[in-house]
Amino acid sequence: MSRAATTMDKTNVPETTAMKDFMALIKIGIVNSNLITVFTGMWLAFVMNDVPFLANLDTMFFTLLGSAFIIAGSASLNNYIDRDIDPLMERTKSRPTVTGKISYSKVLILGLALVIMGSALLFLTTFTAGVIGIIGILSYVVIYSMWSKRRHVSNTVVGSLSGAVPPLIGWAAVDPTLDVLAWMLFLIMFIWQPPHFYALAMKRSEEYGKAGIPMLPTVKGFAVTKRHMFVWTLLLLPLPFFMMDLGLAFFTLATILNIGWIALAITGFKVKDDLKWAKRMFVYSLQYLTIMFVAMVIVTVI
């Protein structure tokens, strides 16, 4: 597809600054939310291994900056790969790769530079953290963006692998042996993503169809999607039992949040307004993740 066919009419291009375009390109919202999980994994590794936090500020710096770089770089490469379908969706048609504010070559160079620099920074912590970082990059850019996203209805599950990597990176930067608790963080992130993104996909089902992306709601319908979302929320229920090192308070909070999400998922089988319910599921998922990971830090401080 030609450049002209994938960019907006210049008269319809919204006014933006160079910084705003850059932030959109690297998907700063995704970078920030993932850094919370990176920090949580790193913080818990410090606490559980009795490693002094203030004496290892260099580890924290390399881990957070390295993670930010590989996430931002992977997001940029995703924009480069999706440059032909982004103009077809309302949610993505204002990206700088679509409006023409940033050239494709610059996006590619920036993305590669960021993932290389980020990987190098992670290897300055531990070898394991660096390897996990590379696995995250390859799983998102190659396995998800270049392969499964446009071919398989299971693309969301495949993409969940890369989204679950950040807390593992944080933990591995301090403790390469990866305790059971580290894998619980991974599983929370992995299981959380399908119901979160299916809720978004329900709201954008027609757009995904126009773009030729085989999202579950578009291919299988809302009824099947609701059943999948219920099962995924159900899978979260046993995880707090393997996280008792964080104490009874966290176990209780996590269990309440899990039951609340399961209950909300069940209501989806009876609602008349599927999109309104999907919005509630999406909002709950955001609140769920924020509360869970912030609570993990709080219970180890008080």
Residue 203: both structure tokens together: 């709201």
Q: What is the pLDDT of residue 17?
A: 82
Range 195-220 average pLDDT: 91
pLDDT at 12 over 70: no
How do residues 133-186 score in pLDDT, each as one tens digit? 999 999 999 999 999 998 999 999 999 999 999 999 999 999 999 999 999 999
pLDDT at 209 over 70: yes
Q: What is the pLDDT of residue 255?
A: 98
Give the model's confidence band at 207: pLDDT under 50 very low, under 70 low, under 90 confident, else very high: confident
DSSP assignment of 232-294? HHHHTTTGGGG-GGG-HHHHHHHHHHHHHHHHHHHHTTT-S-HHHHHHHHHHHHHHHHHHHHH
Q: Using CA atoms, how far apart are residues 45 and 170, in angstroms rounded to an integer?
A: 8
pLDDT at 11 over 50: no
Residue 216: both structure tokens together: 């579950």
Q: What is the pLDDT of residue 1?
A: 36
How do residues 266-285 score in pLDDT, each as one tens digit? 999 999 999 999 999 999 99
For residues 53, 56, 62, 63, the Cα torsion angle rounded to the nearest 10 degrees is -40
Are 197 and 290 in contact by the 8 Å Cβ rule? The answer is no
Helix axes 127-138, 104-123, angle to 10 degrees: 150
Range 207-235 average pLDDT: 93
When the pLDDT of each residue in the chain is averaged and rounded to a whole number, the result is 91
DSSP 8-state assignment for residue 142: I
Range 101-108 average pLDDT: 88
Q: What is the pLDDT of residue 10?
A: 45
Beta-carbon neighbour count of residue 104 at 10 Å? 14
Range 36-58 average pLDDT: 94
Which residues lie closer than 8 Å to 151 by C-beta, 6 or more apart? 214
pTM confidence score: 0.90
Are 218 and 208 in contact by the 8 Å Cβ rule? The answer is yes
More confident call, 135 vs 16: 135
pLDDT at 295 over 70: yes
Are 188 and 171 in contact by the 8 Å Cβ rule? The answer is no
Lowest mean pLDDT among 43-52, 76-85, 133-142: 76-85
Q: What is the pLDDT of residue 9?
A: 46
pLDDT at 7 over 60: no
Q: Using CA atoms, how far apart are residues 50 and 68, in angstroms rounded to an integer?
A: 26
Question: By percentage, how much of the chain surpasses pLDDT 70?
Answer: 95
Q: Locate all alpha helices (DSSP H) within the chain, ordered by sequence.
A: 18-25, 28-48, 57-81, 96-99, 104-123, 127-138, 155-163, 165-172, 180-203, 205-211, 216-220, 222-235, 248-267, 274-299
Q: Using CA atoms, how far apart are residues 251 and 122, in angstroms rounded to an integer?
A: 31
Q: What is the pLDDT of residue 103?
A: 85
Task: Give Cα separations from 165 to 143, 271, 273 (angstroms).
Answer: 14, 34, 34
How do residues 228-256 score in pLDDT, each as one tens digit? 999 999 999 999 999 999 999 999 999 99
Are 176 and 125 in contact by the 8 Å Cβ rule? The answer is no
Give the model's confidence band at 4: pLDDT under 50 very low, under 70 low, under 90 confident, else very high: very low
Q: What is the pLDDT of residue 223?
A: 95
Q: Using CA atoms, how far apart are residues 77 and 111, in angstroms rounded to an integer?
A: 5
Q: What is the pLDDT of residue 14?
A: 61
